[in-house]
Structure formats: structure tokens, C-alpha cells
Amino acid sequence: MDPGSNVRVSHCDLTAGELSVAIPPRAKPVLVMGGTDLFAAFRPGKARAIRNSQGLVAIVDQGSARVASSGRWFSLASGQYQVLPERGPVGTAQAIGPVPAFSSKRCEAVGGRACAVAVVVGDGTARLGASWEPSAPNHKYLVKLARDPALQDVVEQQERPGSATAFTSGELPPGQYWFEVRSVTPDGIPSDAAVKPMRVIRVVPDPGVIHVPSEGVFVLPAGRGVALPDRAGVVVSMGGGHATAAPGRLSLIGTQTRRVVRLAVQGTPNDVAPLTLEARALEADVEFSPRNASWPRDRVEATIRLVDPNHRISPAVVRPKASALVGNKRYDLPLTKQGDRWVTVLPQGDGPGPWIVQVQVTDEDGAMMGKAVLEVVHDDSTAAVR
């Protein structure tokens, strides 16, 4: 704005569009000129001026103003607006619509519910949402979703009826977003904006981590976790309005077998995206046949069956690896799929025996799933299973 020659005020010539201004306490007023004889002098506070086909609309969100049209001056108080026509009579001051208040109810992004935060794996997409308290029934709402806090890089913009007090976005990629809602009077004057930061948070699981999207569960092998590569502005909600900065990586702590982490956007602690970490319970049961074996007479088979007592992982999607330690020599065991089991033949030990055979079963990443021990004798004596 040009301070002009009048040292008592700053001034701005508004020929079209909209001006928003915040005047700090004890600052000089701002004079907005909307035409030859259209003026609005805004005192410290928050104010807006709109130049449209009606003339100049002066809006005082906070503070006060003096406005003029065709030589007549009027006073505006906080929460009022005035339409100043180029010609013709000036109507009375009107009340601005109420600034919408976002719902204070806790919103958990589960079961397809859209909140101000969502979690996606890798490059997935998610919907964001907001709800607010109803205002005057004859008002409408203007909603806007943007990628920047100034709400210039607009993703979605809608006009909603007064009966609609919720918004759900389309599918969005990971990133930061800002949502704005305004109430609109019957003659089209918007209120000040209520703004809420939003976020689609990308998580990257370690190799071997299984994601169960229907329940928001990540099943972790020992020592594994999930990374939060873009965590600026992301917090862990502790409940009761308390939150702490989100770490770069989430995992189970100590002897935990289950942990629920509620991610939120800084400044929006009531909207959370629960992320559940569970220790993998997948186990490998190993059976030997025959159980009482002797070498070189017997051909000993090991049968492996995978079981998940938590029913998180289908054993059919996991390919195990097996190895055998016979005496002091280790062998990688080839596995053959037979129905819901894997079968292998143990290599026979060298020397006079007896042999202690240990079979270990791991997943493809080397995480232990089970083991079993068999004692094999050299002659036809009964072998004991330990």
C-alpha cells in the first residue's frame, strides 16, 4: 500500500477484487478508496474490502471503521459490513455471518472415515475431511482446500448449503494441505475464515513388514519398523491435547508385542490417524519322520508348517528358508511345497555318530520363525527326540 501524502492514514485504491488487512494496535488507519466517492477508513483490527458490481463492500471482522458513499459517512462496528453503491441510497449495516467453528469431537481416521490426517504406505493416496458446527440456517458455506497456508494453490473449492457441515476431499497424495471454511450471508458476503492444517502422511515399512490396510496394522519381524520420511509438522498425539514431535522411525519398544501410535498434524490434535504396530507371531512347526531314526538306514524328512496365531499373515504368501546343522556342518535345505506344508530331506551325517541335528526355519529376510532338534544314532537302536 502507498502511504500517500496524508500522514494520518495509509491508503489503497481498490479497483477490483478483494483486500484483507490486519492493522496492529496503535497503528494509523487504512483508507480504502473504491471509486470517486467510495471510502472505507479501517481502524486497528481485521478488515476486508470487496469491489464488485454492487460497489464497495466494507467488512469489519475486528475493530471499527468509518465508511462513505456520495458524501454520506457511516460507522461500522466489529462483525458488521456495509454495501456502498456508486449511486443510490445506502442501506443499513448488516451482520457478517458467524465464523464457522470446527467440531471439537475427536476424529479417528479408521474404517474409511476422513479426518484432517491420514496415513498411506509409500505413494498411496487418501481422503481428508473436516466438520464444523452449524451456523445460521439461511447461510451457505465456502470451502477451499489448498497446498499452501496462503490458500493460493487450490486443490478443491466448493460452495455448500447451510445444511452441509462436513467436507471430504478426493483422493490426495502424501503432503501438507490447508482447509478453509467461511459462512456466506444470503447476499453473498463471506465471513472471516476458519482454517485447519491437514496432512497425508507417508510411511515406508522396512523390508519384511506386512501391512494390513483394513485395520491399519503393520506386522513387524524382530528389529523392523516403519519410517516417516516427511515428518515436519507431524506429532504423536498423547491425548488430552498433549502431543510430541513424531520420530523419524516407529518400532516396538523393549518387549512390546503391540503398540498404537496416533499421528496428528501440529495444531490439530483432535484429528488422529492410528497406526498399530504388532510383533509378528508367525511360527514354523517342524516335524521329523521317522522320529526315531538311524543312519545310514533311514531317510529322514522334515515337514514344516507355518502358523500365525494372530491371523494377520497368510502362510501361503511366505516362502520359508531352512537350514540344518548336522554335527558341526551346516547345510541349506531345499524345500518342496506339498499342500500347506513344506518338505525337505535331511542330509546324512559323516562319521560314526550319533548326530545331533538342528533344523532352523527363517523367512526370506533371515528372521527366525522356528527350530527343532533331532538325535540320530548310527545303528538300529531307538533314537530319542529332544
Check if 10-95 and 125-198 are the same fold.
no
- State the architecture of 10-95 in CATH terms: Sandwich (2.60)
Predicted confidence band at 382 (pLDDT cuts at 50, 70, 90)? very low
Q: What is the pLDDT of residues 130-156, one digit of tens each?
A: 999 987 778 899 999 999 999 999 999
What is the per-residue pLDDT for 186?
A: 85
Residue 35 zone, left/alpha/beta (φ > 0; ψ -120 to 50; rest): left
- State the architecture of 125-198 in CATH terms: Sandwich (2.60)
Q: For the structural domain made of 283-376, what CATH number should be given? A: 2.60.40.1930
**Angle, alpha carbons 118-121-125 (nearest 5°):** 55
Q: Where are the domains of the chain?
A: 10-95, 125-198, 200-279, 283-376
In angstroms, the Cα distances linking 31 to 43, 119, 204 are 9, 47, 53
Q: Is the pLDDT of residue 111 over 80?
A: yes
**How far, in Å, CA of 95 to CA of 381, rounded?**
100
Q: What is the pLDDT of residues 282-307, one digit of tens each?
A: 899 999 999 999 999 999 999 999 99
What H or E segment, with its residue span, contains residue 51?
strand 45-52
Kindly report each contact of residues 227-230 with a partner whose C-beta sits within 8 Å and lies 24 or more positions away, as own/partner.
227/203, 228/201, 228/202, 228/203, 228/204, 229/202, 229/204, 230/174, 230/175, 230/201, 230/202
**How far, in Å, CA of 378 to CA of 36, rounded?**
113
Set of cell numbers at residue 52:
464488485
Dihedral of the alpha carbons of 117, 120, 123, 125, in degrees to the nearest 10: -60
Q: What is the pLDDT of residues 48-69, one digit of tens each?
A: 999 988 889 999 999 999 999 8
